[in-house]
Structure 1
């Protein structure tokens, strides 16, 4: 700052810990954490400070993972529509990074000297078990905080201690190797775990589809997001959004077809489970979405929303958490 450089901070606050109890622990195949705690806040920061968008330089390299090896050097991220990403050191090997640092006497994180090969989120599911052992040794307070969170979910899912000890929590759907390890250990680990706070039963009737939720529909909260589905009208406790009718203060809703029934389920899911990541705010072409500072949930501006539903296409609750309609209907 003394040199005239302005720092813009994109802070997710406690979003991860709030989202944890909606999504369940992140996994290598279930990377909701990046969207909620990194890409969402970055999108909002760019939108506020650089409305025309930015060119973002990222320090990732192709040698870090197979997935990154296959990525282009310049790209657009669907989760951050207002940035173009570029990786200047994409082709560098690790030794070239360190030679660059040493040759210019640049400061670096001292944890690299204490055995850490990569430094990022302390609870990253992509970390190896060896790295978690280092975490226990070097930062016991951080490991204990994460262990307690995992213990909460272990009990909720009714899983054995090995789910934590051997790192099975790092997958939503166990890989072939993880299933083999579970077999050798003789422990019963479900092949796939799921957690859906908002559930629904959808049945076809003579005049369309009926939805029965596992929770009572709150009128106030529903009205904050209802315009996403279409023009809104209210008659008593009945809220009509587009072609869907929600009977608030009950668990029921009606839709004309299966597609709208699923959209109604998604709307209620977003209304109740939203963690305020802000990804949808950056995606909205009409700037009709905002995050309520108190509730940390999305609110729709009735005057701006055109019911395009583009926000449905990027919501981590729907794209990453990915409820399978087949198991819910």
Structure 2
């Protein structure tokens, strides 16, 4: 699959039956036998039905901004698109009317109108409206308009508002106000920027429809997709030696695993179902899994992580999008225990879909797990979109996790750093006790690390290396992103294994505690012996690009190494830690200088490495007495993947 781009063959559209007023996943409608109108989607096109919570949110945004509700009881689709946080296109009656997004800086949802939405609003409201006198034949899209062209303006307009622009009943559109209502007629200024304006009419459909109407219109296509998935499962599980392997189903309590479990029940006679309770699951998820298994006569194995997260938090701090130690502790460990019972291997049926994320964009139907010998993964709905998953759930009348109706697009751990900030805020509303407990834990950690409470409140804890969107917020609000390492002892804690949160590659993560932090310039020199280091002063993070992998060093002591090769990742982690030890504890003995056959190492006030001469042979590290502290810190570590270890040695 190398060379393929994520979503390379992804669908960029659905269809809409105007006669039945329902979305179609194929061109033809089963109900009226008509042909659907194509509706383009922004990529990746993982369109879904709007939840009751999101419906109320959209209604409140429209009524609060424009004084009317164009969606009312209509069937609404949401299409997830790239954005700083939760961002969705809003589709009604086959028209993309707006984009709703969660603003990280202002911690609230915002509405961004689209042309079709503006045209739908025109006959419904006079709020946020400007009447213009402009020539209709002139190209106006993207242009500024002088106050001379403003005939009238509603008094509720503020600077930067998205406003409705009316030239006539048919020629209209939307734009942005560059000043408040009082200044819009200023003839000396371009007071309005037109986004789009046209003479096309958009009229809402008179027919009301619901999800059941959509199910009926798509029944044949959904049944065909079900048949294909069942045949895939039958074909693989009954093929050759695969018939001897036990079949397991990973049931997370989410919509995708629910569909996969239902498909497995139709395709496979003998299978086992397991649920990983990370200790961080929503109570609603645990209850749903238990209730569904009981009501359907499913014997489910529940493997619990117990207090693994709480026990590891003091050493690792909060998990992050780019430092998911929690997945290894709370998910991979229990999964490994389950799968290790199948000595000859097993087949695991999973609900991963390629539309979910870029990490999963290239998954195949069958994948072998290189880190669990004998395990074969099957992903029978990898090409399904969210709308098809939901149509199938409603077609089969399957009960589903109530969290979806509460506004969660995906279900996972309630404190997951990879979740959207909007969903994390929503969690606060649903489970304020859990939210407060976690916030207190984060505040305590931030205080020890020299970080502010605002760092926690705005969600900065969810990254180690912050993206530009967060850097901009930090700069604007004057928030420091540098964490301080603490502790008076030397210790190394390591977790090994592949994270189940992302696909591909092998990673090792750990935390190195030292009595005193080594100067950055010393560390960078040592790291030249294993790769090309780059240091970000703003983030206080060092990235090392090695021959076949990368490693990162974070200010609070976290070390992360990854590679497509398991043994190389392990060695890269070890070498990275050794260079930090060398930089922190160097005695200037000069042994490394003599050990280098290429004369790349010199000793001035501290060790310096000539990158042009160094071929990264490792002899200077092998000769260094200080580097051997790594072996002391990890003297009892066995070559067993996916196991936790902590070792410490008091400094003298």
TM-score by length of 1: 0.62
In structure 1, the partner of 2:448 is 156
How many residue pairs were aligned? Answer: 235
Q: Deviations over 1:91-124 (max 9, x none)?
A: 1100111111111111111111111111110001
Measured after TM superposition, the shift of residue 139 of structure 1 is 0.9
User: What does 1:49-198 align with in structure 2 at a 5 Å threshold?
Assistant: 49-190=341-482, 191=539, 192=541, 193-196=554-557
SS of residue in 2 equivalent to 1:69? coil
- RMSD of aligned alpha carbons: 3.4
Contact 1:12 1:37 in 2 (8 A): yes
Distance 1:86 1:195 in 2: 39
Residue pairs, 1:1-329, within 5 angstroms: 6-47=299-340, 49-190=341-482, 191=539, 192=541, 193-196=554-557, 200=581, 201-203=584-586, 205=589, 257=622, 262=627, 264-265=629-630, 268-269=633-634, 310-311=639-640
Q: 1:202 to 1:75 in 2, by over 3 A?
A: farther
Q: In the TM superposition, what whole-angstrom CA distance separates every residue of 1:165-205 from its partner, at most 9, and x where no partner exists? A: 11110101112221122112222212144434998445475
Q: Which residue of 1 aligns with 2:208?
A: none
In the alignment, the residues of structure 1 paired with residue 335 and residue 415 of structure 2 have an alpha-carbon distance, to the nearest angstrom, of 20
1:12 is displaced (CA, Å) by: 1.0
Displacement after TM superposition at 1:70 (Å): 3.0
Instruction: Give the match's secondary structure for 1:142.
Output: helix
* Pair 146,202 (structure 1): closer, same or farther in 2 beyond 3 Å: same
Separation in structure 2 between the aligned mates of residue 261 and residue 186 of structure 1, nearest angstrom: 39
Q: 1:78 to 1:166 in 2, by over 3 A?
A: farther
CA-to-partner distance for each residue in 1:222-272, whole Å, 9 max, x for gaps?
Answer: xxxxxxxxxxxxxxxxxxxxxxxxxxxxxxxxx99259965751662586x
- Kindly state the Cα deviation for residue 75 of structure 1 after the two structures are TM-superposed: 2.3
Partners of 1:317 and 1:150 lie apart in 2 by: 24
Pick closer, same or farther for the CA change 1:4–1:23 going to 2, 3 Å. Answer: same
Distance 2:382 2:452 in 1: 41
Distance 1:120 1:126 in 2: 9
Q: What displacement does 1:159 show?
A: 0.7
Instruction: Give the direction of change, closer, same or farther, for the CA distance of 1:51–1:131 in structure 2 (3 Å limit).
Output: same
**For residues 132 and 4 of structure 1, do their structure 2 counterparts lie closer, same or farther at Cα, with a shift above 3 Å needed?**
closer
Query: What is the rounded CA distance, in whole Å, between the counterparts of 1:77 and 1:127 in structure 2?
Result: 25
Q: Which residue of 2 aligns with 1:226?
A: none
- For the 8 Å contact 1:9–1:45, the answer to whether it is kept is no
CA distance in 2, matches of 1:6, 1:205: 64
* Contact in 2 for aligned 1:10/1:41 (Cα 8 Å): yes
CA distance in 1, matches of 2:381, 2:589: 58
TM-superposed deviation, 1:50: 1.1
**Quick one: structure 1 residues 142 and 50, their matched pair in 2 at CA, closer, same or farther if it must change by over 3 Å?**
same
**Cα gap change, 1:267 to 1:72, in 2 (>3 Å):** farther
Query: Any unmatched runs of 5+ in structure 2?
Result: 1-292, 483-538, 542-553, 559-576, 593-619, 647-652
Contact 1:74–1:84 (8 Å) recurs in 2: yes
Instruction: Give the SS at the match of 2:367.
Output: strand
TM-score (norm 2): 0.33
| Distance (Å, rounded) in 2 between the aligned partners of 1:183 and 1:316 | 37
Larger radius of gyration: 2
Does the 8 Å CA contact 1:154/1:161 hold for their aligned counterparts? yes
Distance 1:34-1:78 versus aligned 2 partners, 3 A rule: farther
CA contact (8 A) 1:60 1:89 kept: yes
**Deviation readout 1:4-36 (Å, 9 max, x if unpaired):** 854333221110111111111111111111111
2:368 and 2:453 map into 1 onto residues whose CA distance is: 41
SS in 1 for 2:447: helix
Unaligned runs of 5+ in 1: 209-254, 272-297, 301-309, 319-329
Q: Is the 8 A contact 1:135 1:143 kept in 2?
A: yes
